[in-house]
Chains A and B, each alone.
Chain A
């Protein structure tokens, strides 16, 4: 572990703020405040806006995916066979993810974001173009949730995010096989930071 101090700060069953502060005080007495401060600020910086913000980030991605497959089923020229079956399944899954995430956000007292405006450009010009973009979205979904999940505070929300990200990984593998690509790039999936993800989806989002 690169920063064992983070582990000692990360205590379950207390509110984050209280244990971050308490942990910092406890750790500071052992290591000296200046040694601990960078880890504490890192931990606080990673907190961002909390679970509702993370869920809304995930919801935006699921809206994008769901709309992508919905439009694909109508617009992709020559969509047939396995590719069409997969598109149908994935569309249904992403719609279920949208509903579940919106419910979870409301459950935490938050307001679900509205679906983003979309423009998928030439992604529906052919089945090959569709599958290529689908692979981008599914791999991105995996990286986005893997990157965000460690910052989730609620154990229940973390469990739901894990349950969704495994399904995204299964989607990614299925699409990659249809593209004749290896099912995974590496033995470890990447964890993407939010700005990286937002940059990657930018071409498809119309503000």
Chain B
């Protein structure tokens, strides 16, 4: 039982990071019907921005060596990294996707793959291919709740991830911008006829998705402090699976999908079949899609972002 709860907790913590990445996939897909394969690498970029941000912060505050953990620093770094990634998302959309708005959909898919390659190889070129150690942004504490070992980091991940998911939910369903976004997703041309500035909505969606990936990148760096330019490949793929699992284009679906993948991987990883962990996400996905061809929440009636 104790092991069960331990795995469940680990799975939820890992899954909430998948969920944050999956949100970016699902939002872009919902609005553009584009699988943005570069999204996993934006997540990597977010981590690296946090890494360098901490270095800059330490220098500016006159510290030598590794920066002292503090909540102020964590908040500043998180916001800075989100801003940089949002800007990257903006550039990415303007340069690589907007010119292809009227081209076959698959052309943008290939540029997405190209951008993904560019971030991976460019990351190795600029940051160097060797792994870096992500600094401790806040003090780390070990916790033991009824025999279940955890750290305050895992709890921070949960809280921050939930906060941003709730925020996104509010943006999409509670604001004027969100309504415009849903309109664009529902019917692009009609929305633009209704006076909705579709281009601006689309680029903002990219920026929001990328900022969420940056959040995931920072949280990931906190719990798994080894970062390298190829770190986005597998989480990106798993998050994409999570998005499809939940019904791609659907915000709550992506969250649930991420948690499901995280928890299942945790249980498989702790079992005798741990060597099949990488495949299990896909097996689950295929089984679910065979019964529900558009994912868990991807129904015809379901409202899409």
| B partners with A | no
Q: Using a CB–CB distance below 8 Å, which chain A residues touch chain B? A: none
Q: Using a CB–CB distance below 8 Å, which chain B residues touch chain A? A: none
